């Protein structure tokens, strides 16, 4: 049987030597980012000078890491970016670096956006988002093939990151959405002949059904102050203050339906 170091190899961008490591942890989840960490003995020097540490931090923070797994003649790969480096001390002196990182999918989880996709289906929406964020770095067109092909008159992305938006669409329309270690998968996946045996190669298998109550919430947007509007009260003392109301110096605190004690709160939403 081969050693673990021969089965799992690590390559770090900008480092040409063999990576000596231990305590490797790799977490991979569906519809989520992958996280990894390991201890890296990046130099063979018995004494690591502070300036050498500083240089290592500058050279390798943000570098790409590729993990190669070799099992029964099959090679699997996974990659990510180093997001954190920390010095580890043993007996009062530096011994190496604690490396932590995340998958390339984090580039999709950056700034929340609000926009509308007009007359497009899931595949067109997905390809547009991946193209503007990754420049082909971790997606391929043949892997973006949703089985739900109906064209939407409009589909709104409101104050959410591209990753959360695609995740929501995949849940809503029952599509596969995950990072396989090297490329994003959205929609139909390739057939495999892997057989899983419960309590042997498959652990913690269960079937569940959940019923979740929906929480109603109403909100709007005030373009005059560039602020969101959200109020749980049924009536307000100020009322609508749109442009027409401001010019006419008119206030409409609330509208009361005949025979009811509670007023219906009304506020115009501008788009």
The answer to whether residue 268 scores a pLDDT higher than 60 is no
pLDDT at 38: 97
Same domain, 93 and 135: no
* Contact (CB, 8 A) for 176 and 170: yes
Q: Are residues 119 and 87 in the same domain?
A: no
pLDDT, position 227: 82
pLDDT bracket for residue 122 (50, 70, 90): very high
What is the model's pLDDT at position 245?
54
Residue 132 is predicted with a pLDDT of: 85
- Residue 254: band (very low, low, confident or very high) from pLDDT cuts 50, 70, 90: very low
Q: How many Cβ atoms from other residues are within 10 Å of residue 143's Cβ?
A: 20
pTM greater than 0.95 (yes/no): no
Lowest mean pLDDT among 136-150, 178-192, 201-215, 240-254: 240-254
- How far, rounded to the nearest angstrom, does the alpha carbon of residue 120 sit from its chain's CA centroid? 22
- Asked if residue 203 belongs to a domain, the reply is no
* Shared-domain flag, residues 118 and 58: no
Kindly report the CATH number assigned to the domain that includes residue 120: 3.55.50.10
Residue 83 predicted with pLDDT over 70? yes
Same domain for 88 and 13:
yes
Q: Where does the pLDDT of residue 27 fall: very low under 50, low under 70, confident under 90, or very high at 90 and above? A: very high
Quote the tokens at residue 139: 């997606």
Residue 178 and residue 268 share a domain: no
Q: Residue 97: its pLDDT value, please? A: 93
For residue 160, is pLDDT > 90?
yes
Average pLDDT (36-58) is: 88
pLDDT value at position 255? Answer: 46
Query: Mean of the per-residue pLDDT values for the chain?
Result: 83
How many folded domains does the chain comprise? Answer: 3
Buried b / exposed e across 166-177, counting CB within 10 Å, b at 16+? bbebbeeeebbb
- Whether 240 shows a pLDDT value over 60: the answer reads no
Residues 112, 163 within the same domain: yes
Give residue 95's pLDDT.
Answer: 82
Q: Are residues 34 and 88 in the same domain?
A: yes
- Choose the final residue of a domain: 102, 132, 156: 102
pLDDT of residue 233: 57
SS (H, E, C) the chain: CCCHHHHEEEEECCCCCCCCEEEEEEECCCCCCCEEEEEECCCCCCCCCHHHHHHHHHHHCCCEEEEEEEECCEEEEEEEEEEEEEEEEECCEEEEEEEEEECHHHHHCCCCEEEEEEEECHHHHHHHHHHHHHCCCCCCHHHEECCCCCCEEEEEEEEECHHHHHHHHHHHCCCCEEECCCCEEEECCCCCCCCCCECCCECCCCCCCCCCCCCCCCCEEECCCCEEECCCCCCCCCCCCCHHHHHCCCCCCCECCCCCCCCECCCCCCC
Residue 155's pLDDT band, with cuts at 50, 70 and 90, is very high
pLDDT at 251 over 90: no
Average pLDDT (94-118) is 93
Does position 130 have pLDDT exceeding 60, yes or no? yes
Which residues constitute the domain of residue 135? 107-187
* Average pLDDT of the residues in 175-194: 90
Residues 159, 232, single domain; the answer is: no
What's residue 203's pLDDT?
Answer: 86
Q: According to the model, what pLDDT value does residue 210 have?
A: 85
Do residues 112 and 44 both lie within one domain?
A: no
């Amino acid at each position: 049987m081969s050693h673990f170091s021969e089965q799992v190899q690590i390559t770090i961008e900008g480092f040409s030597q063999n990576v000596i490591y231990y305590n490797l942890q790799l977490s991979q989840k569906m519809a989520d980012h992958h996280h990894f960490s390991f201890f890296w003995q990046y130099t063979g020097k018995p004494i690591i000078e502070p300036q050498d540490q500083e240089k290592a931090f500058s050279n390798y923070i943000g570098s790409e890491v590729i993990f190669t797994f070799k099992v029964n003649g099959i090679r699997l790969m996974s990659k990510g970016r180093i997001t954190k480096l920390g010095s580890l001390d043993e007996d009062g002196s530096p011994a190496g670096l604690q490396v932590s990182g995340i998958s390339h999918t984090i580039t999709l989880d950056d700034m929340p956006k609000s926009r509308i996709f007009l007359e497009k289906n899931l595949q067109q929406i997905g390809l547009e988002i991946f193209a503007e964020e990754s420049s082909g770095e971790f997606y391929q067109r043949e892997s973006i093939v949703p089985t739900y092909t109906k064209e939407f008159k409009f589909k709104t992305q409101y104050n959410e990151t591209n990753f959360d938006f695609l995740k929501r669409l995949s849940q809503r329309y029952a599509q596969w959405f995950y990072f396989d270690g090297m490329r994003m998968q959205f929609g139909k996946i390739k057939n495999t002949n892997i057989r899983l045996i419960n309590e042997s190669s498959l652990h913690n298998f269960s079937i569940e059904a959940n019923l979740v109550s929906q929480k109603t919430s109403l909100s709007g947007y005030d373009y005059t102050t560039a602020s969101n509007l959200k109020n749980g009260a049924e009536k307000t003392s100020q009322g609508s203050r749109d442009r027409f109301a401001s010019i006419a110096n008119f206030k409409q605190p609330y509208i009361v339906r005949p025979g009811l004690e509670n007023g219906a709160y009304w506020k115009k939403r501008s788009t």
